[in-house]
Chain A
């Protein structure tokens, strides 16, 4: 958990800093955009670290206190492709363990969701699932593979796939 969320925090921070600046110059009203998003994620990590199973960690505790922080809200986005990549990265960071399992099984809702984020339409999920299972050992080489490395390998595999290549972002 811990390592994952640290990475996540960094990822979100990078997204938002790099995307906010030019936008901020055009429009001073970026509101509760990504800067706060970064802080929210930092809090999330913080809470999970200190008292994982105890009072602080869960349900009725907010770690983000705004509605406006979602992908696609001003300050976070002006480029669809860039945003899609960031969404996939965040999803893979948070769900890496579930994704690893479902790739080996060749099915599952996390895997279907990732396929969607990578631009593979639902009617071609079956091919995507089969590919992740077949190429599992090259996609996830050890327990230490990072989510970003896994995504990179996955994108390369999509680009080289006879059917899925048409949906590849790498073109």
Chain B
């Protein structure tokens, strides 16, 4: 690639050759080609013009490069003749924008004698360090206790040559993330949604990411190895190198990690049209779906269970007796030295000890200030374990949640019909995203509900009135089952608009905010059942109430059960007492069920009761799209 020879070029010669290249580029309309647009991240806007998604001025070599593909192409060619340092990475243009250089060189058949190639040693040593064999898309599943990762996360892993599956941890990753510049949580959300942060690419060892997601946050990881050729991988890496000169304004809903990862794949193989499929928002699970839908793109899928999944699955393999020993062992390691533990077979001893140390590792990793005592406990267990001098029994850990692309699509529309109090109605419901407790659970975190921008429109027949019956801005529920080892809290929060029905105010709008903290448990008697209870606060604003509002608190208990593979029910009751505003209380009951007809088609039958007299029944068919 690097040809060194006598360089005769002088300023006049450079100028002549540059003019020639520009003329050639204009004739072939090079700046209109998709690949140039991919490299510069140009998007066509409504007027037909182009604007780059990159917001770092240093990424462009022409002053109007952000909006002019042609000017940028010409300025780029001009800079290739110079060794002036450009961009944030401070390299010559040929090295800083290596993918552009290579592409233009091939398109224009650039003559090395008239435009001598420069040595890009930094890139070469970086490329050697990456030592790429293949590229893998990594999906880290949802983490409910962090708003920025509730929908999951994706990044790329550069699989090194000569690795075994056992040493994948040493690979590098390519990761896009916002650089957060505030410590205020409210500012974080606002800036994150509206592009107030800058997003950068970074390359970190995979072991850091695995530790963060799998060990600290307990998120299952799915790995999708891609079928890319050596040339395609090199193009992807060259462009990644270029992006060291770029930042993008970070938009949580659309231009997020997953979106920009797709754009890298398009550079690798421009026949792929991946980012076009995302107009308003980019949900990581949807990007995985798009990638797996491309013919022959994904060649292998691997599962890396989170630490808590490993512990829970391994525990299922314990006898009752062993489980009791486990619970004692994590408090008192000396239990391992005595009967009855000592009379277990060596491989069972190893299994129980491994599980105990898994749990202590989990506790050390999730405790912000682990004590010396906790470390000593782990150390004594491990010393005992090492003396067994036996290998850990092979266990295959099955996921609790299937792969994300197998789940229902993330938007939903429903058509229904029902009866409220004494009137029939027809209903149209539309939900932007993403999943509620009753939606088919495959591919989604069990017990995790995130509903965003959900609308229910109704036409009441007798009154001949059409109205917005219900609107949910957000409605999030996180049910995390407790057991004898794990004690996570469950919580919920919602904000929206609904309809109250009173004698003096029929079908009155009501703005509602609700939040609660609680606990959940699960069993697997039928298939999978979850039980939950919340203490909650509830605030309402409506003309239906005296003083136009009522604010109070109460509690909810509920039961969520898969009766068959397709049929799921949710039963719940809530009592709320309102001391502020209209002094009142409310008992609510709800019985809802869903029957899955197909991955993206379900039937729902709901019965709801509130305010002592207000009853509602709805039957609807729901399509996910």
Contacts and interface: CB of A to CB of B under 8 A. Distances in A.
Contacts of A122: 164, 166-167
A109 B244 contact: no
Contacts of B164: 112, 122
A105 B213 CA distance: 23
A91 B211 CA distance: 11
Interface in B369-407: 369-370, 372, 375-376, 378-379, 382-383, 385-386, 389-392
A101 B357 contact: yes
Interface in B118-159: 121-122, 125-126, 128-130, 140, 143, 145-149, 153
A142 B185 CA distance: 40
Nearest to B237: A67
B341 interface: no
Given A67-B201, A74-B125, A112-B166, A137 B383 contact: yes
A86 B506 CA distance: 73
B580 interface: no
Nearest to B179: A62
Interface stretch (B84-92, B108-116, B602-610): B84-92
B624 interface: no
B372 A143 contact: yes
Contacts of A95: 169, 207, 211
Contact of B148 (A59, A77, A112, A140): A59
A59 B188 CA distance: 13
The A interface, classified by DSSP as helix, strand, loop or mixed, is loop
A50 interface: yes
Nearest to B381: A104
A25 interface: no
Contact of A62 (B143, B153, B167, B178): B178
Contact of A58 (B167, B217, B358, B375): B217
B145 A109 contact: no
B240 interface: yes
B146 A64 contact: no
Contacts of A40: 202
Contacts of A62: 175, 177-180, 199-200, 202
In the complex, which range does the number of interface residues on chain A fall in? 35 or more
B618 interface: no
A52 B391 contact: no
Contacts of A55: 146-148, 185, 188-189
A61 B205 CA distance: 16
Contact of A61 (B148, B174, B383, B389): B148
Interface in B228-266: 240-241, 243-244, 247, 250, 252, 256-257
Contact of B122 (A68, A110, A134): A68
A109 B146 contact: no
B121 A58 contact: no
A68 B211 contact: no
What class of interface size applies to chain B in its complex with A? 35 or more
A107 B394 CA distance: 11
B295 interface: no
B368 interface: yes
A60 B179 contact: no
Given A31-B90, A60-B256, A68 B126 contact: yes
Interface string A124-166: 0100000001101100101110000000000000000000000
A105 B211 contact: no
B203 interface: yes
A143 B256 CA distance: 41
Interface in A60-115: 60-62, 64-74, 77, 91, 94-95, 97-98, 100-101, 103-107, 109-110, 112-113
Contacts of A105: 350, 354, 385-386, 391-392
> What are the 4 A-B residue pairs with the smallest beta carbon separation, nearest first?
A143-B375, A65-B200, A72-B129, A136-B386
22 contacts: A31-B89, A31-B90, A55-B148, A55-B189, A59-B213, A60-B192, A60-B252, A61-B178, A62-B200, A64-B202, A65-B179, A66-B89, A68-B244, A74-B121, A91-B207, A101-B357, A105-B392, A109-B166, A136-B386, A137-B383, A143-B375, A143-B376
